[in-house]
């Protein structure tokens, strides 16, 4: 059977990769779906990268790390929490296990009788999306927090410039302002 792990992956960092490695190692015969949440979002301070760019990051990192058995699926938000489990079940291939550290995700899936596990977060001080986005904007040390394959991809799409613009511009960022 399959497990799922949902995140926004803005960007996909080394903490994510380590969790994927452990989940795959613990249940090698299960498939794993990496659900790319808030897939419709991009070019905002919280969600700078498109779903497609996040897919590419994850794909490159998994190939470089020789982790197989994973599928990557974008999940656009619906705004209705009470229907979220039904929505994810209809969108993703069949799964019976959910990996999450988000208490609401846990609550919603447990109410629907899924097995839910909370994989230990890895070095949360270093591997945390908001911090890495801030480092990208500040041209700081973001490279050490992401897999090398992600670092080179982020450079190829000028991610530091994008983040600097998105985090520096405050509330004047929404296009029609």
In the bound complex, what is the minimum distance in angstroms from residue 77's beta carbon to a second copy? 6
Q: Which of 8, 16, 24, 133 binds a second copy (CB under 8 A)?
A: 8
Least Cβ distance, residue 91 to a second copy (angstroms): 5
Task: Compare residues 115 and 169 and give the one whose CB is closer to a second copy.
Answer: 169
- Bond before 4 cis per omega within 30 degrees: no
Which residue lies nearer to a second copy by CB, 83 or 141?
A: 83
CA gap 76, 60 in Å, rounded: 22
Consecutive H or E run containing 48? none
| CA–CA separation, 15 and 79 (whole Å) | 27
List 22, 27, 30, 42, residue binding a second copy (CB under 8 A): 42
- Binding region for a second copy (CB under 8 A) out of 16-24, 82-90, 131-139, 140-148: 82-90
Residue 176: how many other CB atoms lie within 10 Å: 3
Q: Closest by alpha carbon to 15, among 137, 131, 107, 117?
A: 131
Cβ proximity to a second copy, 67 vs 92, nearer residue: 92
Of 115-144, binders to a second copy (CB under 8 A) are none
CA distance 147 to 124: 15
**Does residue 103 bind a second copy (CB under 8 A)?**
yes
């Amino acid at each position: 059977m399959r497990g799922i792990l949902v995140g926004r992956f803005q960007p996909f960092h080394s903490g994510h990769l380590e969790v994927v490695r452990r989940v795959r190692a613990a249940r090698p015969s299960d498939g794993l779906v990496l659900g790319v949440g808030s897939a419709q979002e991009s070019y905002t301070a919280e969600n700078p990268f498109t779903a497609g760019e996040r897919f590419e990051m994850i794909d490159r990192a998994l190939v470089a790390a020789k982790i197989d058995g994973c599928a990557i699926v974008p999940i656009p938000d619906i705004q209705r929490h009470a229907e979220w489990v039904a929505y994810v079940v209809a969108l993703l291939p069949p799964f019976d296990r959910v990996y999450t550290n988000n208490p609401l995700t846990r609550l919603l899936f447990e109410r629907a009788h899924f097995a839910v596990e909370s994989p230990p977060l890895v070095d949360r001080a270093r591997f945390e999306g908001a911090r890495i986005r801030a480092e990208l904007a500040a041209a700081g040390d973001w490279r050490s927090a992401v897999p090398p394959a992600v670092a080179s991809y982020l450079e190829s799409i000028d991610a530091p410039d994008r983040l600097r613009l998105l985090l520096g511009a405050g509330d004047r960022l929404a296009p029609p302002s």
